[in-house]
Amino acid sequence: MKKFSVLVLGIILLFVTACSNSAISTSKNTKSNPDDGSNKETETIKIGMTSAVTGPYSEYGEGNKRGVELAIEKWNENGGINGKKIEVEILDDQLVPDKAANNIQQLLADPEIVAIIGPAGSGPGLATVPITEAKGMVHMNIVPQTIEVTYPNGTDQAPRKNVFSFALQNDVEANVLGEFAGEHWEKVGLLHESTAYGKSGMDLIANILEKDFNKKPVAREEYNQGVSDMTSQLSKIKNAGAEVVVVVGLGADLANIKKGMDRLGLDVPLVATNGALSLPYLEGAGDLVLGTIGSMIGALGKDPLSPEAQEFADAYKEKYGVDRYWGNDENNPQLFMSLNVANAYDGANVLFEALKNAESTKSEDIIKALESIQDFKGVNATYSFSETKHHAISEEALDLFEYVKEGDKIKLAPYKK
Amino acid sequence: MSSLQFALELIFTGLCVGAVYSLIAHGFNITFWTTKVVNFGHGPFIMFCSMIVLSFLMKGLPWIVSIPIGFAIIVIIGLILERVSVRPLLKYPTSMGWIVSTLGVGLFLQALASKIWGAQALAFPPFIFEATDYVSIFGIRLSAQYLLVLVMALVIMMLMEMVMNKTIWGKAMKAVAHDPNFARVMGIKSKIVITLSFMISAFLAGVAGILIAPIYGTITPEFGMNIMVLGFVAAVLGGIGSSKGALFGGLLLGVIEKLVGGYISTSAEHGVAFLILIIILALKPDGFFGVKVVQKV
């Protein structure tokens, strides 16, 4: 009996180990000859990627995966990079920093991989950049908003040599929200989630309010992600006489904040980070979202879309249809796609462009080629990099949007004062 | 807003939030009565039932059909949990294996839910009341849905007290809890009583699920686990195994949380539950209403 139990345990352990690091290898290699593979190196260009493909944050990981795959398909259909087809190996980290770091080690062990597309989330981002930096491997940062991923000593200092960011950096979002709140209201109430993202983002906003407008927030409160009731936070903000509530947080929590504000009769505008434009907020708060103002990369809100954004939207719709990522409006992709699909699509396209220009797969050559990219038109922005500037999304790419009612439908419209 | 009104607001909201914890603590009690087992799969049960109900609602079925299906499934899962992860361990009365085995079933349900419905937040529609409905008491607006939970927690407490003290079932449960073998000798079908207790507990998890999910607005596979922990603190605070304790512990925990949030710091609001857990375990491990159990070996 005991032996049997040990045997069963052994088999279970084996199974768990085998499943734990499942790689999703999406080979876009054409039906190449199944020869010995000796000339494979010359036929393909391979990149590695780790992201939260499954788990609670798969909205980002799966979205990023789709973005990268769309870009690869586009390039491969047009003959690849200088005649070489592109291939990607994607590992799943579920947004767990340790897993992401392990995945990166595993990817770096493959000599064929020439560049890395980084994980979603600031935690995994910060856990992986030191590894790629030590090896000098090109690292495209797609989602993590924390500045330190790209600029370890602040934006006024040199960036990490190997990291190029397509993320909406915390400081950029904070600048836009801080300026907006400072210009329009005297008494500002602040509320943020208790994560690094929430705290650091709110520090930046509070800083702008104090420095640029000489305004001290009347209240600053925090909450844990996923909490159901924020009465104490909102009551304090209400008691302080706030004329606006500025929030750094995710969509589902924003829905609870908005419901709480409604119940407590805290009838002031809600201004929030990009979570305000996510589906969980709209679904969770329903009609209450009206009037909420959120900041977001404006590219997919333009009418008409830029040719690049239109091409991306068409390609996405053709491959995946109108789904959760696309959003409720059949004709227009939702703005949030800029943060989970289009960013990865742009990152991959810029990387491939640099690989094409570099005509080499050596890291130094790719970095040089990336730093020489100027006015490359992508979906989210027009990209220009230099030795000192390794991030792409700046304040100009950001717009403020407001929920408005059009007939029976709730829509996001560019904010007009 | 006057300071008195602020204090009242915090206290009333605390009572409402605490009612959620009470509702969960009630679910813990039933299985504890019969087997001295705390079912750590209770949280995922709450989540799983609301997920099932939600998926039928999304298919266009009305509440009146979705809820019974959801409850039926979760009760069957309760039965399976008892058979798979509790019964084999009851042979060893001193074993604490149930902690791992019930938690294991819970984690399995969580993973299963991610597989079936995905790991992302799904919107749960309002049930009975709209999310914005409120009742005004002394000028303080309380969410109607929260009040519904409070009423439910009270009703369940009264029902349980009645069943335990006034009915033959209650006596049977007490007998099984005291000594399952002796109860069997006395003609009580201990195994059936135990199985039933797990099924009722699963049913209560279902009730909690559909009442609490609309408050959160969205549910994820992790949804139940997080609130279960707070429900557990409430059960320990009130005295595990006591219905009055479950109600009192939950409400007290809710009020303390909100008062700490309102007067000390909102960042301390969520950690305070664990501080209470440590203090109560150190000073009064049987909780406020718990009975000291002396076991003869």
CA triplet A165, A167, A170: central angle to 5 degrees? 110
Closest CA to A298 of A344, A251, A337, A245: A337
Model pLDDT, residue A407: 86
Q: Inform me whether the pLDDT recorded for B255 exceeds 80.
A: yes
Between residues A55 and B250, the one the model is more confident about: B250
Confidence of residue A417 (pLDDT cuts 50, 70, 90): low
Closest residue in chain A to residue B215, using alpha carbons only:
A228
Tokens describing residue B154 = 């009270």
Model pLDDT, residue B165: 87
Closest residue in chain B to residue A254, using alpha carbons only:
B217
Question: Which residues neighbour B125 within 8 Å (Cβ) at sequence distance 6 or greater?
Answer: B54, B57, B214
Model pLDDT, residue B34: 85
Using N-to-C axis directions, what is the helix angle for B42-58 and B223-238, rounded to 10°?
140
Closest residue in chain A to residue B269, using alpha carbons only:
A223
* Chain segment B28-76, per-residue pLDDT in tens: 998 888 888 889 999 999 999 999 999 999 999 999 999 999 999 999 9
**Choice among A126-135, A169-178, A311-320, B170-179 with the minimum mean pLDDT:** B170-179
Q: Inform me whether the pLDDT recorded for A337 exceeds 70.
A: yes
- Which of B266, B269, B270 to mutate to test binding with chain A, by most A CBs within 10 Å of its CB? B266
* Chain segment A92-122, per-residue pLDDT in tens: 998 899 999 999 999 999 999 999 999 998 8
Question: Which residues neighbour B171 within 8 Å (Cβ) at sequence distance 6 or greater?
Answer: none
Q: Looking at the complex, report in whole angstroms how far the Cα of residue B291 sits from the nearest Cα belonging to chain A.
A: 32
- Which of B3, B120, B227 to mutate to test binding with chain A, by most A CBs within 10 Å of its CB? B120
* Chain segment B82-91, per-residue pLDDT in tens: 998 888 887 7
- Following CA atoms B61, B67, B72, B78 in sequence, which dihedral angle do they give, to the nearest 10 degrees? 130
Contact (CB<8Å) B216/A256: yes
Q: Inform me whether the pLDDT recorded for A317 exceeds 90.
A: yes
Q: Looking at the complex, report in whole angstroms how far the Cα of residue B15 sits from the nearest Cα belonging to chain A.
A: 12
Q: Which of A58, A232, A259 lies nearest to residue B262, judging by beta carbons?
A: A232
* Chain segment A51-98, per-residue pLDDT in tens: 999 877 888 999 999 999 999 999 999 999 999 999 999 999 988 999
Q: Which of A222, A252, A265 lies nearest to residue B141, judging by beta carbons?
A: A265
The answer to whether the beta carbons of residues A51 and A93 sit under 8 Å apart is: yes
Contact (CB<8Å) A226/B221: no
| Alpha-carbon distances, residue A120 vs A55, A342, A382, B295 (angstroms) | 12, 14, 22, 53
Confidence of residue B295 (pLDDT cuts 50, 70, 90): low
Model pLDDT, residue B89: 84
What's the mean pLDDT when you consider all of chain A? Answer: 88
Tokens describing residue A11 = 């088999």
Model pLDDT, residue B51: 96
A187-194 mean pLDDT: 94
Closest CA to A232 of B260, B5, B141, B18: B260
Question: Which residues neighbour A230 within 8 Å (Cβ) at sequence distance 6 or greater?
Answer: A191, A223, A256, A257, A260
Q: Inform me whether the pLDDT recorded for A156 exceeds 60.
A: yes
* Chain segment B127-177, per-residue pLDDT in tens: 888 878 889 888 888 889 899 999 999 999 999 889 888 998 888 888 888
* Measured distance CA(A56)–CA(B222) in Å, rounded: 9
Q: Inform me whether the pLDDT recorded for B209 exceeds 70.
A: yes
Q: Inform me whether the pLDDT recorded for A12 exceeds 70.
A: no
Contact (CB<8Å) B10/A222: no
pTM score of the predicted model: 0.81
Q: List, in sequence order, the alpha helices (H) in A44-195.
A: 58-77, 97-108, 122-135, 170-184
Total Cβ atoms within 10 A of residue A111: 8
Q: Inform me whether the pLDDT recorded for B294 exceeds 70.
A: no
List residues of chain B with CB under 8 Å from any CB of chain A: 1, 6, 9-10, 13, 16-17, 20, 114, 118-121, 123, 131-132, 134, 141-143, 146, 212, 215-218, 220-223, 226-227, 258, 261-262, 266-267, 269-270
Host H or E run for residue A271:
strand A270-272
Model pLDDT, residue B97: 85
B215-232 mean pLDDT: 89
A22-47 mean pLDDT: 53
Instruction: Enumerate the domain spans of chain B.
Output: 22-221
Tokens describing residue A277 = 């434009």
Q: Which of B10, B123, B216 lies nearest to residue A228, judging by beta carbons?
A: B216
| Alpha-carbon distances, residue B134 vs A175, B79, B123, B146 (angstroms) | 37, 38, 20, 9
Model pLDDT, residue B204: 94
Task: Give residue B80's identity as a one-letter amino acid code.
Answer: I
Most confident among A184-193, A408-417, B5-14 (mean pLDDT): A184-193
Q: Inform me whether the pLDDT recorded for B120 exceeds 80.
A: no
| Alpha-carbon distances, residue A289 vs A43, A286, A414, B49, B76 (angstroms) | 52, 6, 15, 28, 39
Q: What percent of chain B has pLDDT over 90?
A: 52
